[in-house]
Structure 1
Amino acid sequence: MQGALAPVLLRADAEGVATLTLNRPAARNGLSVALLDALSAALAEIAGDPEVRCVVIAAAGPVFCAGHDLKEITAAFGQPDGGRAVFTDLMRRCAGVMRAMPALPQPVIASVGGLATAAGCQLVAACDLVVASEAARFQTPGVDIGLFCSTPAVALSRAVGRKSAMEMLLTGDAVDAEEARRIGLVNRVVPADRLSDEVQALAARIASRSALAVSLGKRAFHAQHGLPLEDAYEIAAATMVENLLAEDAAEGIGAFLGKRAPQWRHR
Structure 2
Amino acid sequence: MSTDPELLIERRGQALWLTIQREDRRNAINAAVLEALTAALADASRDTSVRAVVLTGTGTRAFCAGADLQTGQSFRFDYSQPHQALADLFRQARRCTVPLIARVNGACMAGGMGLLAMCDLAVASRSATFGLPEVKVGVFPAQVLAVLQHQLPRRVLNELCLTGEPMSADRALAAGLVNEVAEPEALDGAVHALLVRLLDKSPSAIRRGLYTLKQVESLGFEQAMAFTESQIGLFALTEDAQEGQAAFREKRTPNWTGR
- TM-score interval w.r.t. the shorter chain? over 0.9
Name stretches of at least 5 consecutive residues in structure 1 with no aligned partner.
78-82
State the alpha-carbon separation in 1 of the partners of residues 249 and 74 from structure 2: 63
8 A Cα contact 1:57 1:111, kept in partner: yes
CA RMSD of aligned residues (A): 1.8
Pair 225,6 (structure 1): closer, same or farther in 2 beyond 3 Å: closer
Name the amino acid aligned to 1:137.
T
Name stretches of at least 5 consecutive residues in structure 2 with no aligned partner.
none
Residue 103 of structure 1 corresponds to 95
Residue 226 of structure 1 corresponds to 218
State the alpha-carbon separation in 2 of the partners of residues 15 and 43 from structure 1: 17
8 A Cα contact 2:68 2:74, kept in partner: no
Cα offset, 1:151, TM superposition = 1.4
State the alpha-carbon separation in 1 of the partners of residues 74 and 122 from structure 2: 33
State the alpha-carbon separation in 2 of the partners of residues 242 and 45 from structure 1: 25
State the alpha-carbon separation in 2 of the partners of residues 180 and 69 from structure 1: 24
Name the amino acid aligned to 1:105.
T
Matched, 1:237 2:222: no
Residue 80 of structure 1 corresponds to none
Matched, 1:176 2:168: yes
| Identity value in percent | 35
Pair 90,208 (structure 1): closer, same or farther in 2 beyond 3 Å: farther
Residue 40 of structure 1 corresponds to 38
Greater share of helix residues, 1 or 2?
1
SS of residue matched to 2:149:
helix
After superposition, residues 112-261 of structure 1 pair within 5 angstroms as 112-261=104-253
1:37-74 per-residue CA deviation (whole Å, 9 max, x = no partner) reads 010111111111111011100110221101011133x1
Name the amino acid aligned to 1:51.
S
TM-score by length of 2: 0.94
How many pairs align?
A: 256
SS of residue matched to 1:158:
coil
SS of residue matched to 1:189:
strand
TM-score by length of 1: 0.91
